[in-house]
Amino acid sequence: MRNIFISIVLLSCFFYGFSLWGNETPPNFLVVLVDDLGYGDLSCYGSPNLKTPNIDALAAEGMRFTRFRANCCVCSPSRASLLSGMYPDRTGVPGVIRTHADNSWGYLAPNLTLLPAALKQFGYDSAIIGKWHLGLETPNTPNLRGFDFFHGFLGDMMDDYYHHRRHDVNYMRHNEETIDPKGHATDLFTDWACQYIRKRSDEKKPFFLYLAYNAPHTPIQPPPEFLERVQKREPDLDPKRAKLVALIEHLDNGVGNVLKTLEETGLSKNTVVIFTSDNGGQLDVGAFNGQHRGGKTQMYEGGLKIPFLVRWSNRIKAGSTTETQGVLMDVFPTLLELAGARINTKGQADCFTQRIDGLSLCGVMLGEKESLPERTLYFVRREGGLPFGGKTSNAFIRGNWKLVQTTPFSPLELFNLADDPMETQDLKTKAPQEFRRSIQGMMLNIQEGGRVPWQASTNKP
């Protein structure tokens, strides 16, 4: 009966969306998620030695967010939030899903409806090109979790961008088929995305393309010609930094080819393009996270703050910026609303039974609102090894106050981000009332997330 009820409700969504758009075709969606790109590692976000003209064009032609965060400081949890609109631990993915079970810290909840399945109710065809990282086997592969098409990599990272293996396992797939393509992974994902877009140009149904690049995740392995170009242009650049810059510029070239294909197929005008990252940059490989403390794996702002750009021709004001505080889980309700769903005052779809934690960004993007309603934000990461021991690290933001425990064994710290954006002055003894309020807010979120199992053995039917 529950499934019948959900089907009836979602069917009503479809008819509402049809009436909303009338004879006008609903927009296509291209979400480009890159891996470990630091907040400051784009020209349009202040990098002094990077040239990313194609990604910068999205900022020039659309909106740039300056206070956007990932839902986690590492991969899998952020991806789960983007595709569900929920906090990571409520999806069953508080930590990184890995090849070896004794070091894997998440299992995608069986009853969770992800974005491609939700958009399908509005007539969308959905594809993922690139990195999945939310499950390595049935039932948690892309085709079994709502995507119509998958051409990419199941795993967490590649040990080599040209050989595409992880721990000597081949995770490259074309839908459910194991494949062994030749070439740099960034080029492969770019080519496959362009092929999908060209195919969709002959179809009437709108599409959702989730293009998830591995770059610029380690290993830092740019094509030689891109490294040579950077070294010639920036001869004094640290060699480690030069390799990362070259890998990012190669990524920018790939994004440019995808955007060019949208133009050539006539799809660009009615395609909402989002570009963002899953977490902050990795410091020990030369990443630049802007004027923020820390980086990937840390709950400080350098691990959470990410670039976020959105373009929709003639709908979003070109060259606009916003200080709206957004997070990756906001992508889910945003795309649902653009597809035709009615979103209530809490940012949730009236016709969608699954509770959504994110808020729709539509009003801000379209210039109808200056900002989103004030809200608290919660961040979680579960991890193994000696620094974590299978426990969680957390952060909690209320207004300008941020409570941080960046490892389970480190002390809680309280910062005022307005006065101290670099998070250098711990104020928990000077602001004891706010410290207690923040701990209480964090505890409530931890309790909420604890209702969802994150181990495969307890989640499998």
Tell me how crowded residue 314 is: count the other CB atoms within 10 A of its CB.
8
| Confidence at residue 19, expressed as pLDDT on a 0 to 100 scale | 42
| Confidence at residue 346, expressed as pLDDT on a 0 to 100 scale | 59
Structure tokens at 388: 């974590």
Mean pLDDT within 411-435: 98
| Confidence at residue 353, expressed as pLDDT on a 0 to 100 scale | 72
Cα gap 283→111, rounded to integer Å: 37
Residue 356 CB-half CA count within 13 A: 33
| Confidence at residue 135, expressed as pLDDT on a 0 to 100 scale | 97
Cα gap 86→53, rounded to integer Å: 33
Torsion of CA 416, 421, 422, 427, to 10 degrees: -10
**Residues 90 and 357 sit within 8 Å (Cβ to Cβ):** yes
DSSP 421: T
Predicted confidence band at 6 (pLDDT cuts at 50, 70, 90)? very low
Structure tokens at 149: 């098409």
User: Is 16's pLDDT higher than 90?
Assistant: no
| Confidence at residue 345, expressed as pLDDT on a 0 to 100 scale | 59
Interacting residues of 194 by C-beta distance below 8 A, sequence separation 6+: 257, 258, 261
Apex CA 83: angle with CA 77 and CA 87, to 5°? 45
| Confidence at residue 342, expressed as pLDDT on a 0 to 100 scale | 83
User: Is 4's pLDDT higher than 90?
Assistant: no
Mean pLDDT within 225-246: 98
State percent of the chain over pLDDT 90: 88
Please report where in the chains the tokens 């631990």 appear, as a residue. Answer: 89
User: Is 458's pLDDT higher than 60?
Assistant: no
Tell me how crowded residue 261 is: count the other CB atoms within 10 A of its CB.
20
pLDDT in tens, 47-72: 999 999 999 999 999 999 999 999 99
Predicted confidence band at 84 (pLDDT cuts at 50, 70, 90)? very high
Mean pLDDT within 171-197: 98
Predicted confidence band at 258 (pLDDT cuts at 50, 70, 90)? very high
User: Is 311's pLDDT higher than 90?
Assistant: yes
CATH 3.30.1120.10 region(s) of the chain? 378-459
CATH 3.40.720.10 region(s) of the chain? 2-18+25-376
DSSP string covering 223-264:
-HHHHHHHHHH-TTS-HHHHHHHHHHHHHHHHHHHHHHHHHH
pTM, whole model, 2 decimals? 0.94
pLDDT in tens, 274-298: 999 999 999 999 999 999 999 999 9
Predicted confidence band at 13 (pLDDT cuts at 50, 70, 90)? low
Mean pLDDT within 79-99: 97
Mean pLDDT within 197-224: 97
Cα gap 52→248, rounded to integer Å: 8
Which CATH class name applies to 2-18+25-376?
Answer: alpha beta
Report the CATH number of the 378-459 domain: 3.30.1120.10
User: Is 193's pLDDT higher than 80?
Assistant: yes
Cα gap 44→203, rounded to integer Å: 34
Mean pLDDT (the chain) is 93
Pick from 426, 377, 410: nearest CA to 297 = 410
* One-letter identity of residue 345: T
Predicted confidence band at 319 (pLDDT cuts at 50, 70, 90)? very high
User: Is 106's pLDDT higher than 60?
Assistant: yes
| Confidence at residue 374, expressed as pLDDT on a 0 to 100 scale | 87
Cα gap 126→339, rounded to integer Å: 13
Predicted confidence band at 24 (pLDDT cuts at 50, 70, 90)? confident
Predicted confidence band at 9 (pLDDT cuts at 50, 70, 90)? very low
User: Is 351's pLDDT higher than 70?
Assistant: no
Cα gap 305→278, rounded to integer Å: 10
Coil/strand/helix, residue 67: strand
* One-letter identity of residue 250: H
Interacting residues of 313 by C-beta distance below 8 A, sequence separation 6+: 61, 268, 269, 270
Structure tokens at 448: 């909420």
